[in-house]
Amino acid sequence: MTQTAAPTARYIEPKALMRIRSLELRVKAVMEGFVTGLHRSPFHGFSVEFTEYRQFSNGDDPRFLDWKVVARSDRYYIKRFEDETNLRCHLLVDNSRSMSYGSGTFAKADYAKTLAACLAYSLSQQRDAVGLVLFDEKVEDQLPARFRHGHLRQILVALERATGGQSTNLVEPLERVASQVRKRGLVVLISDLLAPTTGLERALTALSSCGHELVVFQTLDPRELDFGFESAALFVDQESGRELYVDPATSRDHYKRRLDAHLSELRTICEKLGAIYHLVPTDMPLEILLGEFFTESQRLKSRGRQSRRSTGGARST
């Protein structure tokens, strides 16, 4: 993964970050000094792109006068701007019991929710509409994509909910967004994706067919990736409660083959649909992910504008 944040940026280790109990304070710790300059924002947060000049007329905002043109021609022209599509982003966050696992001092859920909160905060700062779907085996909470006073606070409060549920259903929240959200936007799925992929490709295809761009953050504990356990122990499935005595020395290779096959299947699904996929160990500094995300979202905005100009609003293929 390319690190797109400024070379001088100081990353906060997730272990230290998660010691901050308040999600809101965690977000502020990550975002302070980071978002500034990530997006081009020439007029106090509005994302706009210059299109052409036209003559100044009564009622126009004099802030948009181009004084260089005035100096050269002695005529008053203002720049016309085209609003970038204010991004409509829907954050789908896995709140199932499997997300409560953590080999260190914090769980995958803590990391995933902090990531979601940072994305919501940053998008709100840019006047983008943000929504939230919190799910386990069913949708537990849903907030529509909005940009208005107090909405970010609602998202943060919802993300503070404890993990629950007995299993993970990846399909229902994706299908709900596909059926309910008519305006195309960005759908961000944050989950460990440790669930059967049956139906996942169909649900993601439905979203892609509606014109939504897709970003997937698969959030896994480092121990889940390397199975770096040393001693034989009793392992308990967080969701089913099933107990299994495992000797890592004899099981590691088999586990890693099964995991690699699962990850490969997920990557193939995402690549087929043009979705952006990130495999995210929970010891990765969040600033790196944010830098990647906002580079991608800016590119997606630009691609959306070009698509509308060339097709008159239809989705380009």
Whether residue 61 sits in one domain with residue 113: no
Whether residue 173 sits in one domain with residue 33: yes
Whether residue 55 sits in one domain with residue 114: no
Is residue 180 predicted with pLDDT exceeding 60? Answer: yes
Residue 275 placed within a domain: yes
Find the CATH number of the domain harbouring 108.
3.40.50.410
Residue 317 placed within a domain: no
The total domain count for the chain is: 2
Distance CA 252, CA 239 (A): 22
Report the pLDDT value the prediction gives residue 37, as an integer from 0 to 100. 39
Q: With beta carbons less than 8 A apart as the criterion, state whether 149 and 317 touch.
A: no
**Higher-confidence position of 220 and 302:** 220
Distance CA 255, CA 167 (A): 21
What are the tokens at 30? 């990550």
Own/partner long-range contacts of 7-10 (Cβ < 8 Å, ≥24 apart): 9/34, 9/287
**Higher-confidence position of 192 and 68:** 192
Whether residue 125 sits in one domain with residue 55: no
Whether residue 220 sits in one domain with residue 239: yes
In sequence order, which residues have a C-beta less than 8 Å from that of residue 263 and are 6 or more positions away? 218, 279
Domain residues for the domain of 68 are 48-81
What are the tokens at 289? 């992910």
pLDDT digits (tens, 9 = 90+) for 131-152: 999 999 899 999 999 998 899 9
Report the pLDDT value the prediction gives residue 77, as an integer from 0 to 100. 64
Band the pLDDT of 232: cuts 50, 70, 90: confident
Is residue 64 predicted with pLDDT exceeding 50? Answer: yes
Per-residue pLDDT, averaged over 216-232, amounts to 93
Distance CA 301, CA 24 (A): 27
Whether residue 194 sits in one domain with residue 61: no
Residue 8 placed within a domain: no
Whether residue 90 sits in one domain with residue 63: no
Residue 316 placed within a domain: no
